[in-house]
Structure 1
Amino acid sequence: MRNLLDSSLYYFSVVAQSGSLTAATDKLGATVSALSRHIAKLEGDVGAPLFERHARGMVLSDAGRMLLRYAQSSLADGQAVMSAIQGDLTRRERNLRIACTEGFALDFLPNSLAAFYAQHPDAVIAIEVTSSDGASRMLVDGDAAIALSFSLKPEPDVVARLTLPAPVMALMSRDHPLAARPSIALADLHPHPVLLQDTGTTIRQLFDIACNVEGIDVVTPITSRYVASLYRFTQVIPGAIMLSGFMSVANRLEADGLVAVPFASSLLQQRRLQVKTSATRPLTGLATLCLDHLIADLQRTQARHPQPA
């Protein structure tokens, strides 16, 4: 609190409570002459003596008692302000905002962050679901500390802390006619209903390009911006195939009776998964711990990724 109070006023309050300049020097680590100068300065500022000097010590004058009440009140106010500031900093340290595309929010992040939260129960985590471009904008604008998204090209003002291959996969039921194949071609999709995300996603962009290059026309009875809806449609529409990334569904495939089969098309293998942070804003301690946790979890999950034949 001393730094929030004028030095002379602080020294005066210690002298007043100590009863003498000599006693105050032990607490302040200052010389008697230095304390005398501070007291003289204050007396000159207020225009009245602050102490009555006696042989046994110094006794506050009426002006001194009023000034001491002011000094004590200022110290109390300063303590309250510092406590509020420290409390706000603590709350900020505990808060963590993560931006991601919907695929990560479907399954990976709930499982991964549940494990992180078990280790850090004081954390307050917010997940913002947006587009890949939107996740990067949130980093640049300071609205998120960490972003998980898919990328086809480098982005300015963000740092990729982890980059993994994230090829487009064909998600289907375990008993689907194509489920046992090590990989499938775009032409293999022709007899089956294909479920696609809206245009603008990296999966849809690559799929449309690959179909144009190969001259393939597929049946797309349902499109949606919501990955969770398409995932459910894959379970209930006979023969349906959903285009997905493996990371989005890795932890739930077996329980839901689904498999993810790689595509043989090289175009559908060009997508990259990235964990990103701002290039200019440092991470808090909690965010750094979470970043390390997510990277390790992604690497473990990636090791289970099916590879095209």
Structure 2
Amino acid sequence: MDERALRYFLAVVRQGSIRGAAGVLNVAASAISRQVADLEARCGLPLLERLPRGVVPTEAGKAVADHALQRAEDTRQLEDHLQQLRGLRQGAVRICCGEGFVGDLLENGLPGFAALYPQIRTRLELAGTQGVQASVGRGEADVGLAYNPVAETALRSVAVARQPLHLVMAPGHPLRDRKRIGLKSLAREAVALLSEGHGVRLLLQRVEADQRFHLVPVLETSSIDVLRRHAMAGQSITFLPAFAVAPEVKAGLLILRPLTDALLVEASAHILVRSRRRLPVPVERLLGILAEGMEAFRASPPVAEA
């Protein structure tokens, strides 16, 4: 199949419209439409389902998109290998992660990789758990760091560590002396929550649904930093894994209390890559450095009483 047609088609699938692909590729929409039409004619099947607001791939379209993505990754891997044969260690690795991983990644993950591959750039994007999974699955990120992702056949976890969800609050909060805390008992408390699509929020919603109650947030945000600051100010309690607030806990600005709900106790942090992808050597080395160096991928110890 024509390389240009595959590249254009993959962009259409990723962007959800021909117009969006045209903007990303800086190519006329009419040229992309012609390439897609030629590709459909060659396959003998419709590859896109036209909707009022864009397009989605048909089953045949998904197969072609997977093929196009594999071709693009094979080309990138070949280029990386040729650079290594020429004695060069250049290029970029693309990481997509939840905000809660950032401090740990910058302190305990990336320095080791940068020392090993000083000429390789790192591209870091932030997203909620669903966004991380989508980015890795679409081939837009080489590596994803996600909290408690749902299983997907398109992805595989190369490292997993249990990281229970904890109650997070200011040291002077009235709940500080509680020893065993179930999520339902906090339904009337002032809570701050992450927005929809984040792994923490999805986990909380599962417990709420199972036990038939609702947390009503006084603050809802996509920012973990906002959650930390709101809790430190004593305005709310919130829920995060220990690694996401490790510096604040160490400084005595926040305290943690374990939650007893089984789903929250068994939550875990994952390093994700795309299934069946042949990873370039630098990405393989990065995975090992992250798994060995980051606090998020060491099993969380019991929380000490503050």
Q: TM-score, normalised by structure 2?
A: 0.63
> Counterpart of 1:236?
233
- Residue number among 222, 234, 238 corresponding to 2:219 in the alignment: 222
> Counterpart of 2:263?
267
Whichever residue aligns with residue 287 of structure 2, its letter is: L
> Counterpart of 1:292?
288
Task: Say if 2:180 and 2:260, in contact at 8 Å, map to a contact too.
Answer: yes
1:1-309 to structure 2, matched below 5 A, reads 86=83, 93-105=90-102, 107-117=103-113, 119-120=115-116, 121-190=118-187, 192-238=189-235, 240-255=236-251, 257-298=253-294, 302-306=298-302
Task: Say if 1:94 and 1:286, in contact at 8 Å, map to a contact too.
Answer: no
CA distance in 1, matches of 2:181, 2:199: 20
Residues 91, 141 of structure 1: CA spacing in aligned structure 2 closer, same or farther, 3 A cutoff?
farther
Residues 90, 182 of structure 1: CA spacing in aligned structure 2 closer, same or farther, 3 A cutoff?
farther
Task: Say if 2:170 and 2:254, in contact at 8 Å, map to a contact too.
Answer: yes
Whichever residue aligns with residue 208 of structure 1, its letter is: Q
Segment of structure 1 superposing worse, 181-190 or 169-178: 181-190
CA distance in 1, matches of 2:219, 2:88: 44
Segment of structure 1 superposing worse, 133-142 or 208-217: 208-217
Residues 138, 157 of structure 1: CA spacing in aligned structure 2 closer, same or farther, 3 A cutoff?
same
Query: Could you tell me the percent identity over the aligned residues?
Result: 22
Task: Say if 2:161 and 2:299, in contact at 8 Å, map to a contact too.
Answer: no
> Counterpart of 1:76?
none
Structure 1 SS opposite 2:251 = helix
Structure 1 SS opposite 2:95 = strand
CA distance in 2, matches of 1:232, 1:102: 14
Structure 1 SS opposite 2:264 = helix
Structure 1 SS opposite 2:196 = coil
Structure 2 SS opposite 1:213 = helix
Structure 1 residue 195 displacement after superposition? 0.6
Structure 1 residue 300 displacement after superposition? 7.4
Q: Structure 1: which 5+ runs fail to align?
A: 1-81
Alignment root-mean-square deviation, CA: 3.1
CA deviations over 1:163-184 (Å, ceiling 9, x no partner):
2223221111123232344431
> Counterpart of 1:6?
none
Structure 1 residue 150 displacement after superposition? 2.4
Residues 166, 267 of structure 1: CA spacing in aligned structure 2 closer, same or farther, 3 A cutoff?
same
Whichever residue aligns with residue 140 of structure 1, its letter is: G
Task: Say if 1:263 and 1:308, in contact at 8 Å, map to a contact too.
Answer: no
Task: Say if 2:157 and 2:273, in contact at 8 Å, map to a contact too.
Answer: yes
Q: TM-score, normalised by structure 1?
A: 0.62
Task: Say if 1:157 and 1:278, in contact at 8 Å, map to a contact too.
Answer: yes
CA distance in 2, matches of 1:157, 1:209: 23
Whichever residue aligns with residue 256 of structure 2, its letter is: A
Task: Say if 1:196 and 1:230, in contact at 8 Å, map to a contact too.
Answer: yes
Aligned length: 224
Larger Rg: 1
CA deviations over 1:200-228 (Å, ceiling 9, x no partner):
22222222332343344545211111111
CA distance in 1, matches of 2:180, 2:251: 22
Structure 1 residue 109 displacement after superposition? 1.5
CA distance in 2, matches of 1:210, 1:308: 25
Residues 208, 132 of structure 1: CA spacing in aligned structure 2 closer, same or farther, 3 A cutoff?
closer
CA distance in 2, matches of 1:150, 1:301: 11
CA distance in 1, matches of 2:179, 2:293: 25
Task: Say if 1:169 and 1:245, in contact at 8 Å, map to a contact too.
Answer: yes
